[in-house]
Amino acid sequence: MLLFRGPHWDKGLSEGELHQALDRVMAWFDGLSARGKVKAAQPLGTEGRTISGTNGRFVVDGPFTETKEAVGGYLLLQADNLEEAVQIARSMPTLQYGISVEVRPTLAECPIFERHPEIVQRAKERAGRADQLVASAA
Amino acid sequence: MSATTTTDYLLLFRGNVWDRGLSPAQLQKVVSDWMAWFERLKAEGKCTGGHPLEEQGKVISGKQRTVADGPFAESKEAIGGYFYLTVADEKEAIEIAKQCPGLEYGAVVEVRPVADVCSVKQRAVEYSKGELVGAPA
């Protein structure tokens, strides 16, 4: 998973520079697609909400995407390994304008859950029993 | 407007150390609840994808395309995983986010609409039309 951070990289570019940069991004993306490297990719809207607290009792506007850390979009890569994903991230044309790309391997199992394998096992067994109950009831 | 209109949202789960200090019983509950929550949303057709992310990754930045380790593994802001939602509207996406079983232990959920067009491209179009406020002449 590539997370693109700092969605306001276009600030200060002239119209010509901006169009040129966007053309290069499109060409880069089309090249990756043609090579079968793109599983999914989308930009994110600039508005959003952040939810925290028990039962989600705090709902606030944000994050504010003007910051360099804000995530502006993502690209789910079909890469052989982290090295290939890093190489692809390094070829992103807009890095020179100040965006950064976070490269994160996706997992089948949550790392927090993995720290507690016995608990996950019990939860799965419980879920399995629930499936059986549903199956026998059907 | 059609009643079947749906919109896509990304839930980004932030914080990857909220399990610290939980009792085995609390952990058991949060793990079971989280799995059941994900399965239910998938069965309802509201969640069409999701992944936890490995804690270790790389961050690439700058003209030199520097590769650094990161993000910092233990952080309240680090993104630990995501759900891809297809729902009626933002209200429904927020209602689903509020059901996150990790919230009471300090997890934070960011709700972001998936856009058709990248915001930079949108600005470039406005630029061409001369509508971008503050654009250099």
User: Taking 90 as the threshold, does the pLDDT of residue A113 lie above it?
Assistant: no
Q: How far is B18 from chain A (nearest CA, A)?
A: 8
- pLDDT of B45-72, one tens digit each? 999 999 999 888 999 999 999 999 987 6
**Residue A85 reports pLDDT greater than 90:** yes
**Pairwise CB contact (< 8 Å): A55 & B104:** yes
Please report, for chain B, the start and end positions of each structural domain, with discontinuous segments joined by +: 7-128
- Substitution target in B118, B125, B131 with the highest count of A β-carbons within 10 Å is B118
**Where does B7-128 sit in CATH, by number?**
3.30.70.1060
To the nearest whole angstrom, how far is the Cα of B65 from the nearest Cα of chain A?
6
Contact B30, B62 (CB under 8 A): no
Torsion of CA B91, A60, A54, B90, to 10 degrees: 10
Burial B61-88 (b: 16+ CB within 10 A, else e): beeeeebeebbeeeeeebbbbbbbbbbe
CA atoms within 13 A on the CB side of A6: 17
What is the spatial distance between Cα B100 and Cα B97, in angstroms, rounded to a whole number?
6
Global confidence as pTM: 0.85
Per residue in A55-71, pLDDT (tens digit) is: 999 999 988 888 888 99
Q: Give residue-wise pLDDT tens across range B72-123.
A: 656 788 899 999 999 999 999 999 999 999 999 999 999 999 998 888 888 8
Least confident span in A5-14, A71-80, B1-10:
B1-10
A100-103, strands of its sheet edge to edge = A38-43, A71-77, A2-5, A100-103, B58-61, B66-69
Cβ separation A65–B119 shorter than 8 A: yes
* Three-point CA angle A127, A132, A138, nearest 5°: 125
Question: Would you state the pLDDT for residue A127?
Answer: 64
* CB of B118 less than 8 A from some CB of A: yes
List chain A residues with CB under 8 Å of B37: none
CB pair distance less than 8 Å for A56 and B103: yes
How many residues belong to chain A?
Answer: 138
Work out the angle at residue B41's Cα, subtended by the Cα atoms of residues B36 and B46, and round it to the nearest 5 degrees: 175
Contacts of B49 in chain A (CB under 8 A): 40
Would you give the distance in Å from CA A111 to the centre of its chain?
17
Smallest Cα distance from B88 to chain A, Å = 16
Residue listed under structure tokens 């930009």: A43
| B55 has a chain A CB within 8 A of its CB | yes
ipTM over 0.90: no
